[in-house]
């Protein structure tokens, strides 16, 4: 049922005659809770992938950063008569590799996405729990023959819950857009700086 994109099923048309009110309210309740369950399942399914990639890239960056710091020291320790010197440039290569892994993590949003998904899932779960208890509390005081006012109150409760879930998803999506736009801007600035570097001029022609 769940696809790669987080969607929302439509609420089917309900019959609101006096004899059908209870049944229709049950349809509304199941639809609202179903939307929350779908969103929770989507975030739960997508979160582990981002966590694994985020951790792998960050661990790789830590290892390469540590190697960049240790290589100059190893050069001094092991360089001697008859020994092969470790080129200091390898430290720069390791440091560049660490920076590249961190940049990839930022660009694809693995670490940030994992945290966003975890928080969004927790917020939706909390909203669902609150809605389920509030719905049952309202039902505890309902009359056997539901009045129009009681039906309206329950519909408003369900509507508020669905909109709250939509707000969580919308906020998480907005954060993703902001982070992705920032990653693109950082990448463009980095490439622009590299292209303008004197070391990257070709045949005396420098970029503008």
- 11-24 tens-digit pLDDT: 888 888 888 888 99
Q: pTM higher than 0.85, yes or no?
A: no
Q: How far is CA 187 from the centre of its chain?
A: 20
- 61-93 tens-digit pLDDT: 999 999 888 888 877 776 665 555 667 788 889
Mapped onto helix, strand or coil, the DSSP state of residue 122 is helix
Contacts of 165 (CB under 8 A, 6+ apart): 35, 36, 39, 124, 127, 128
Q: What phi, psi does 179 have (nearest 5°)?
A: -65, -40
Judge whether residue 6 has pLDDT over 80.
no
Which among 131, 115, 136, 129 has a CA at the least distance from the CA of 163? 131
* Intra-chain end-to-end CA distance of the chain, in Å: 51
CB atoms within 10 A of CB 71: 19
- Domain residue limits, the chain: 18-195
Token reading at 129 = 């729990």
- 86-120 tens-digit pLDDT: 677 888 899 999 989 988 888 888 988 899 999 99
């Amino acid at each position: 049922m769940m696809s790669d994109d987080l969607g929302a099923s439509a609420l089917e048309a309900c019959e609101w005659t006096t004899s059908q009110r209870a049944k229709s309210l049950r349809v509304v309740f199941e639809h609202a809770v179903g939307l929350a369950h779908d969103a929770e399942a989507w975030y739960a399914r997508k979160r582990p992938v981002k966590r694994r990639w985020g951790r792998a890239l960050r661990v790789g960056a830590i290892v390469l950063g540590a190697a960049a710091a240790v290589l100059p020291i190893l050069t001094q320790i092991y360089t001697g008569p008859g020994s092969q010197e470790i080129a200091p440039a390898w430290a720069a290569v390791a440091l560049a590799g660490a920076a590249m892994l961190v940049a990839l993590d930022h660009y694809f949003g693995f670490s940030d996405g994992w945290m966003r998904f975890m928080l969004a899932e927790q917020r939706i779960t909390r909203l669902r729990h609150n809605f389920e208890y509030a719905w049952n509390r309202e039902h505890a005081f309902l009359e056997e023959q539901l009045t129009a006012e009681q039906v309206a109150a329950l519909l408003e409760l369900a509507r508020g819950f669905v909109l709250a879930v939509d707000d969580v998803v919308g906020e998480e999506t907005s954060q993703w857009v902001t982070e992705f736009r920032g990653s693109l801007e950082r990448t463009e600035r980095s490439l622009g700086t590299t292209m303008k570097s004197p070391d990257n001029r070709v045949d005396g022609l420098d970029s503008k």
